[in-house]
């Protein structure tokens, strides 16, 4: 009987470990008004050690690049989302040079506002995260940032 109970507990422990969902990236959002009619949206990814998130600028045939989409609103996008200088290296899995970020990355998007406050900027971020052993399926998360 003891062996059956022990075997059952070990099986439950293995199932629990396998059921854990890997979430190596945590996202946070903020905004800063730069004038009465302009603001900057900050989309920050905090990346667990050993993992990396890809740049917005990845060639076809490579991993899924980070794509930031903004929902229509009363604001107007000023240019495209900016990112810091990424790490660029050859990745054997994709047989090409790819650009990515480790530890953290902050994407910035300038917006023009109609003048009334507060404003809410919404959208989605699609991204892919990999480490030296595996890549997780691309993920798409919604965001919402208040500008006061």
The CATH class that applies to domain 23-147 reads mainly beta
CA distances from 133 to 25, 52, 93, 127, 147 (A): 16, 12, 10, 18, 40
pLDDT digits (tens, 9 = 90+) for 91-132: 888 899 999 999 999 999 999 998 776 789 999 999 999 998
Taking alpha carbons only, the member of 103, 139, 133, 107 closest to residue 23 is 139
First to last CA, the chain: 65
Least confident of 4-8, 19-23, 65-69, 108-112: 4-8
Report DSSP state, residue 66.
P
Q: pTM here?
A: 0.83
């Amino acid at each position: 009987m003891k062996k059956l109970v022990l075997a059952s507990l070990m099986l439950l422990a293995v199932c629990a470990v396998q059921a854990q969902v890997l979430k190596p990236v945590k996202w946070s959002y903020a905004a800063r008004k730069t004038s009465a009619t302009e603001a900057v949206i900050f989309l920050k990814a905090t990346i667990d050690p050993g993992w990396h998130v890809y740049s917005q600028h990845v060639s076809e045939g490579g991993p899924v690049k980070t794509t930031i989409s903004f929902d229509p609103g009363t604001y107007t996008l000023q240019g495209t989302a900016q990112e810091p200088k990424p790490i660029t290296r050859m990745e054997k899995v994709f047989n090409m040079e790819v650009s990515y970020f480790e530890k953290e990355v902050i994407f910035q998007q300038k917006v023009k506002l109609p003048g009334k406050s507060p404003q809410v900027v919404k959208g989605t971020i699609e991204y892919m995260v990999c480490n030296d052993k595996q890549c997780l399926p691309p993920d798409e998360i919604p965001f919402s940032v208040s500008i006061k």
